[in-house]
Chains A and B, each alone.
Chain A
Amino acid sequence: MFDGKVRVVEKNGYQKQVMSIYRFINDRLYYNRPDIEIKGEPYNSTILFSLLTGLTGGKELIIGEPGLGKTTSAEFVCSLMYQFPLGVIWGSEVSGHPEQTEEKIIGRPDLGKLNRGEEDVVWTNFSQVPVKIVDEINRLPETKQSMILDGVDRGNWEYLNEMIINDEYCLFATANYQDGGTNTIIAPLVDRFDVIVESRYPGANLSFIIGKNRGKNHILRHPKYEKDLYRVLKSKVAYEKKIPKMEEICNAFGEHVRETAGVKPLKREDRDRIRAEMEGLDLDLDASAFTRMILSELSFCERYGQKRIVENCEEGCHYTGYLCRQIRNCASNRLPTSIKSFARGLAWFLGDSGIDIEHVTSVMPYTLSHRIQWKDEVLSQKERAKRDDPFQIFLAKEAVKAVLQRYREQSDHLKDALALGSKIFQGAPLEPPEGDHPIYAEIRKDIRYRMNHGERLGDADDPEPV
C-alpha cells in the first residue's frame, strides 16, 4: 500500500502515447465537448472512460440517445488501443436482439464434423478477440446478457465441453435509455459493469461537422489486414496458436495507422507494460479513507446490520443524514474493485505518482451511478434539478459531492480512527474510536470482532488469506 512517500512512476512515454490516442479520437473521429474536469484539464468522459476501460481491461456500459455515437466511440477506442482494423471489430460485435443465440455469441458446432459424428467447436470472432463490443445489450434476453458478462468476468468461453481462455479482454456494451420497447438490464447484471458513461449530443455545431465528415472510418480500415485476421480467426488451429498470429497482423496494422494517421496504437507489450506500471500505483491515505467512507454509507444499516433491498429504513433512525437513508440496495464488492481499478488507470494516465482523492472522486460517479437504487422520494425530489448529466450520473455526482463534504470535515479524525483500528487490531489495548459517521461504527464492528475472537484467531496459526 501507498506509504505516503512520493514514488516516481517509471514512465516509458506511454502516457504521451495514450494521450495522443485520446486527442486523435477527439479531434478526428468522435467529435464531442469536454464534460468533466480533472486536475484542471477538461476531458470528454466517453472517450476518457473508454480508454481507461481498454487499458484496465474493464467493462463499460455506454448509454445515450440513438445515433449519438455510443458504438462508434467504443469501436474507435478498441481499434486504437488494440490495433484491430474496424472491419474485424464490426465482425466481432454482438448485436442485441431477442432472437440472439449462444451459437452466434460464443461458438457453434462444426457442422461438417458433426455430420461425420465428430464434435468440434467453431468459435465466434466475439469470443476470440480481446475487444468485445455488445451493441444494445438491453435488447438481449437476460440469459444472454448474463452469459456474456459471465464470460467476460472469467475470461472463459465454453461451448460443448470445450473452452477457450482470453488472457486479455475488455467489454463495451451500449444501451438506449429504457423505454417500452426494450428489455432492461437487471440489477445483478448491471452491477458487473465497472463504469457507465453517456455518449452525449455534441451540440448543433459539432453535430453539423460530423455530418460533413463521413469518410473518417477509412482511417482505421485496411481490407488486407482485415482479411488476414479473419483467416486466422476462422482457421482450425488451437486458439492459443492463433494469438501470436493475430498479434503479428495487428502490429502490421498498427504500423500502418502510425504511418498514415500519425497516431501510434498500443501493441500488446505496450499494454502489458502499462498495466504493470499501473500496478505500482496505490491509493494514498485520503483516497483510501474517503472510499471507505462512501462504501460505509452505501452499505450501512444500524438496525439490520447492513443494507438490504427487502428492508426499509425505520423511522427515528439516527443515521438519517447519510446516503444509506436515501438508497434501497447495498453496495456490492465489485464497486470498490471498479473504483480502484479506474482511479488507478486515471492516475496513471495523468502521470501522477499515486492515486489521490481527486482521481477517486472523478471516477466514482461513473462507477456508482448504475449500481445505486435510489428511493422514490429522492428521485422525485431531484428529478427537476438543473443538470447536464443523465439523471443517474447526476445523482451519483451529487452523492459523491455530499460525502466529500463530510470527509473534508473529518478527514484527520477518520484517518486517526483507522490508524487506531490498526493498532487495536494488532493487539494494542486502546479504546475503539468514536464518531457519528457509519464508518466509525464499521471500524468498531471490525475491532469488536477482533477483540472477541482475537486470541483464537491470532494463535491458531491460520494461513494468510489468499
Chain B
Amino acid sequence: MEDKRLQGLIEEMWPRLKKKHLYPELPIPKIVKASAPAEEEGEGNEGVGLEMKEKQMTLNPAFISSMKDKMTEENLIEALIDHGITHYTFCPWDFQTHLMIYAEAKKVMGDKESAKQATNYFIDVIADTHCVKKRATEIPELHRHLKKRKVDQVIASLYQRIWGIDLGVSFSNSDGKGSEEVVRRLARIPYLDRSRWPESIRKFARSLKPLLVAEQKEKESRGGQGESNPQGEHDLGHYSYEEIDQGLRDYAQKTMGLSEFKEVVEDFSPELKERGYGIEGGMGRGRGAPVDADVLFYMKLSENYSIPLKKVPLEKSGKLHPHSHSPWEIGAPFQDIDIWTSFGKIMPGMTQVWKKKEGKGRGKIEGAPDCLIVIDSSGSMINPRKNLSYAVLGAACATNAYLRNGSKVAVYNFSDAPMGGRDIVDYTENREEIYRVLCRYFGGGTALDLEEIMPLIKGKKELDLFIITDMKITNLETLIGFFGKIKNRITAVHIGENPYAARFEKAVEKRKNINIFKVKKKEDIPHIVLGSIREYFDVTRKTGD
C-alpha cells in the first residue's frame, strides 16, 4: 500500500524531473524493496536508497521511510532521482568512461578494492556537482542528512567548499587539520571538465588515498562488511550487455595497450562473469566461461576495424530487358517503340520507346569462401600476450570479415612447425576458438610444414588464404613454390622490410591471385589488410554495378 503511494508520487513527479534533465531516455523509476533489509546494514545505517540496473532506477522504500523525519518524501525522491539521472546523463555516461576512470584510479591506489572505492566517490562527486550547478535540486539537502563516515565527511566538506552550501560538516580538532588539507586539495580539481577526468581522478585518488586505505582496513577488520552507499553503488549492474560490449571495444581502441586492458578486465572479471560475460560462443558471452583478457582484447579491438562485406554478390546476367520509357525522337530506331503507351501514334513527344537495361541475376558464388589463416608466431614476431601484436590484430580483423559472411575460418599458427611448434584449428565458426589459436605464441624458429597445411586446403573448392608473417621463414622457397601451384586467392602480409620479404615479393609478383602488403609501420597492418579485403569482396566495385 505504502509502496503504491510512493510509486504514485514518483509517477506524478517524473514528467517534471524528465523535463528538468532535458528528457533522458530512462524508464520511470520504481519503488522496490531492497533485497537486504535496512536493519541488517548496521545500526543507524539506512541502507541503499537508490539502485540502478541497466538504466532502471529503483528506490528503496525502507530508506525513504528512514529519512522521513529529516526530509520530505518528495524532496528525498527528487534528490535520489536527480543523482541517478545525472549518472546517466553526465558521469560516468558510459562503461568506457567508467573503465577509464577506474584504470587511472588503480594506477594511484594500487589495489582493486580501494581503486573501485575512489572511482565511486569520484563519479558521485562529479554527478552531484554537475546537478547542483546546472539544475535546481535537493541533493545538498540529502547530503546534509545522510549519515557520514570519515570519507563521507571529507566529501561533504568538499561539497560545502565547492558548492558554497552549508551542509553542517565540521571537523573535530584531532584530525581536522589533515582532513582540511585533503579537502583543500580535492577542491582544486576541475570536476566538470570531462576532458580532464583522467588527470583529475589521479589527483582525487592521490588526495583521498590515506583515508580510503584506512577505510579499507577497517572494512577488512569487520570481515569485509562495509556500509553501503545510500546513493547506490556503481558496479557493472548499471550497464547492459551491449553497453559493456561497446565499452570494452572503445576502451581497447582508446588504450591500444594490452597490459592496461588486461589489468582492468581481470579486475572486473568476477563481475563480468556474474553478468554472464565469458568469451564463449563468439559473441563474447557465456556464463561460467573464464575471461581470457588477451583474447577479449583482440576481439574487442578488432571489432573497431571490422569490415562490411557483401554476403550475396550479384553478377549481371548480360541480357537486356525493357526497363523504362523515354520519349521517341525522330531519327531514333522504331523497333523499341511501345505502341500501347504511344496510343498507336508515331509522333515526337507522344510516342514512347522502351529503354532497356542489363538485367541482374544471382551468380555462382553464394557468400564468401572459407579462409585459412596462416600466422607466424616465431621469435621475431611480437608476443601478442605481452604487447599489442598488429599481426594478430590483422588476422583477427580478417577472421571477423569471413565469419560475418557466414564463412568458416581455420588457423595454422606456426613457429618451428616440423619441431612441433604449431597449433591448428580446423574450419570453424567459433570465434573464441579461432582467437585462442591466433593469440598462441611459440617464439621459436620459423618453418612451415606444408604437409600439415595440405589437409586444410585439399577438398575445398573455394578457399582464401591469408598469411601474416615477417617472411623470415627458413623454408621460404618451399612456400613460394607452393603458392606458385595453387590458384586460391592469397592475401600475404609481411611485417618490416627484409631480404626474405623482397625475395617473396619478387617470386610471386606475376601471380594475380596473390596480394602482398608491405608494412613499414606496424600500425599500417589493420588498415592495409582491411582495404585489401574490402576490394576482394566488394563485388559491386569490381563489376561496376
Contacts and interface: CB of A to CB of B under 8 A. Distances in A.
- Asked whether any CB of A lies within 8 Å of a CB of B in the complex, the reply is yes
Interface of A: 39-40, 98-103, 108-109, 111, 114, 141, 143-144, 180-181, 286, 356-358, 361, 376-377, 379-381, 383, 385-386, 401, 404-405, 407-409, 411-412
Contact of B325 (A101, A108, A286): A101
Contact of B314 (A101, A180, A408): A180
Contact of B307 (A98, A380, A401): A380
A408 B326 CA distance: 53
A111 to B, nearest CB: 6
Contacts of B241: 386
B314 A286 contact: no
Given A98-B324, A141-B324, A376-B308, 15 more contacts: A40-B28, A102-B325, A108-B343, A141-B355, A144-B324, A286-B22, A376-B307, A377-B304, A379-B308, A380-B306, A383-B308, A385-B246, A404-B22, A404-B23, A409-B194
B544 to A, nearest CB: 16
A411 B22 contact: yes
B107 interface: no
A358 B93 contact: no
A109 B362 CA distance: 41
Given A99-B324, A109-B343, A143-B324, A405 B93 contact: yes
A95 to B, nearest CB: 15
Interface in B384-408: 404
B160 interface: no
Nearest to A102: B325
B284 to A, nearest CB: 11
Nearest to B253: A381
B323 A98 contact: yes
Given A141-B324, A381-B304, A114 B14 contact: no
B530 to A, nearest CB: 9
B86 to A, nearest CB: 9
Contact of B15 (A40, A101, A143, A412): A40
Query: Top 3 closest A-B pairs, CB basis?
Result: A141-B324, A380-B306, A380-B308
A141 B323 contact: yes
A409 B130 CA distance: 9
B324 A40 contact: no
B303 to A, nearest CB: 6
Nearest to A104: B341
B23 A409 contact: no
Contact of A381 (B25, B28, B249): B249
Contacts of B249: 381
A361 B325 contact: no
B504 interface: no
Interface in B310-333: 312, 314, 322-326
Nearest to A387: B242
Nearest to B306: A380
A288 B18 CA distance: 18
A310 B422 CA distance: 47
B360 interface: yes
Contacts of B303: 381
Q: Is the interface of A mostly helix, strand, loop or mixed?
A: helix
Contact of B89 (A100, A386, A408): A408
B90 interface: yes
Contacts of A286: 22
26 contacts: A39-B15, A40-B14, A40-B28, A98-B323, A98-B324, A98-B357, A99-B324, A101-B341, A109-B350, A111-B343, A141-B323, A141-B324, A180-B360, A286-B22, A357-B23, A376-B308, A376-B534, A381-B249, A381-B306, A385-B242, A405-B93, A407-B22, A408-B21, A408-B89, A409-B89, A409-B194
Contacts, number: 78
Nearest to A379: B308
Contacts of B93: 405
A386 B324 contact: no
Nearest to A141: B324
Contacts of B322: 98-99
A181 B341 CA distance: 25
B521 interface: no
Contacts of B25: 401
A270 B89 CA distance: 42
A109 to B, nearest CB: 7
B231 interface: no
A386 B242 contact: yes
B305 interface: yes
Nearest to A359: B23
Contacts of B343: 108-109, 111, 114
A396 to B, nearest CB: 14
A411 to B, nearest CB: 6
Nearest to A356: B19
Contacts of A114: 343, 345
A190 B21 CA distance: 34
Contact of A357 (B22, B28, B90, B357): B22
Contacts of B413: none
B23 A358 contact: yes
A412 B134 contact: yes
Nearest to B325: A101
A361 B23 contact: yes
Contacts of A141: 323-324, 355
Contacts of A401: 25
B293 to A, nearest CB: 21
A386 B284 CA distance: 14
Contacts of A386: 241-242
Contacts of B534: 376
Nearest to A98: B323
A251 B534 CA distance: 59
Interface in B213-265: 241-242, 246, 249
B352 interface: yes
A103 B345 CA distance: 14
Nearest to A181: B360
B423 to A, nearest CB: 28
Interface in B8-26: 14-15, 18-19, 21-25
A359 to B, nearest CB: 10
A411 B249 CA distance: 29
A317 to B, nearest CB: 16
Most chain B CB inside 10 Å of its own CB: which residue of A99, A102, A361:
A99
Nearest to A410: B134
Contacts of A144: 324
A100 B308 CA distance: 34
Contacts of A143: 324, 326
Nearest to A358: B23
A404 B25 CA distance: 10
B161 to A, nearest CB: 23
Nearest to B538: A376
Contacts of A411: 22
Contacts of B341: 101, 103
Nearest to A39: B15
A407 B242 CA distance: 23
A383 B352 CA distance: 44
Interface string B346-357: 000010100101
B409 to A, nearest CB: 17
Contacts of A100: 324
Contacts of B15: 39-40
A407 B24 CA distance: 11
A143 B325 CA distance: 9
Nearest to B93: A405
A397 to B, nearest CB: 9
A137 to B, nearest CB: 14
Contacts of B362: 180
Contacts of A380: 306-308, 404
Nearest to A360: B23
A408 B22 contact: yes
A152 B227 CA distance: 66
A383 B308 CA distance: 9
B467 to A, nearest CB: 24
Contacts of B89: 405, 408-409
